[in-house]
Amino acid sequence: MDVISEFFSEYDGLQAFRTTIYLTLLSAVFALLIGTVVAVMRVSPVRVLQVIGTAYVNIVRNTPLTLVIVFCNLGLFLQLGVALANKDSNTFINDNNFRLAVLGLSVYHASFVAEAIRSGVNTVPLGQAEAARAIGLPFLKTLRYVVLPQAFRGAIAPLGNVLIALTKNSTVASVIGVTEASAVMKVMIENRPDVLFIVFGIFALGFVILTLPVGVLFTSMSKRLAVKR
């Protein structure tokens, strides 16, 4: 079982999974922010905003994530010179790739977050918004105080699905050289083809450990936090 000790010592597999977790959490926060804005645009009364929001969701959802991430590196950085880290620091390439990956993952998953929140808005009964309007709240206040708080609670299950998908999708960041779990697995497989199954088993298990509790947590949260009607 020396391959397991190699995983910890030589390849620093824990560090790889830590990078996976950082990628996931940072992207989740940005995706939630962008996604909420897009969802609000899509339900807003202003036609132009609706069109922009819908276009965003339709375009991003139909583009492969691999293309989005590759575009961030080859397109944004190498061709257009958009750098997200300090060029003088000696960890520039690592930092920049990591941040570009976060950018790509956030932009991509924001479209799914927007759809999840919109489905949450659909769970709020009509009477709630009608009552808010009846007491004179304008559109934004209706959303902020009455509809969105209930919508988020109704959207917890699909948001959990997005978070789990995001965890697994963060592996695509390896394509632009972020050393997260899948990148390290690739190196280990190349160096130790004799223990292929064990190496795959370790990394697969890592993802099962990362994703299964999130699924259970979000399912129980969606039941506990659902607005009782």
Q: Residue 8 or 213: which CB sits closer to another protein?
A: 213
Q: At 172, which helix (H) or strand (E)?
A: none
The minimum distance between CB 90 and another protein, in angstroms, equals 26
The minimum distance between CB 10 and another protein, in angstroms, equals 18
The minimum distance between CB 3 and another protein, in angstroms, equals 14
Measure CA 147 to chain center.
Answer: 24
Measure CA 3 to chain center.
Answer: 31
Count the residues in the chain: 229
Q: Residue 18 or 91: which CB sits closer to another protein?
A: 18
Exposed e or buried b for every residue in 11-50, given b needs 16+ CB within 10 A?
bebeebbebbeebbebbbebbbebbbbbbbbbbeeeeebe
Q: Residue 98 or 180: which CB sits closer to another protein?
A: 180
Q: Residue 50 or 94: which CB sits closer to another protein?
A: 50
Q: Residue 66 or 91: which CB sits closer to another protein?
A: 66
The minimum distance between CB 8 and another protein, in angstroms, equals 19
The minimum distance between CB 161 and another protein, in angstroms, equals 4
Q: Is 6 exposed, middle or buried (0-12, 13-18, 19+ CB in 10 A)?
A: middle
Q: At 137, which helix (H) or strand (E)?
A: none
The minimum distance between CB 192 and another protein, in angstroms, equals 10
Q: Residue 89 or 148: which CB sits closer to another protein?
A: 148
Q: How far from each other are the two terminal CA atoms of the chain, in whole angstroms?
A: 55
SS3 27: helix
Measured CA to CA, the distance from residue 82 to residue 151 in angstroms comes to 36
Measure CA 225 to chain center.
Answer: 22
123 touches 89 (CB < 8 A): no
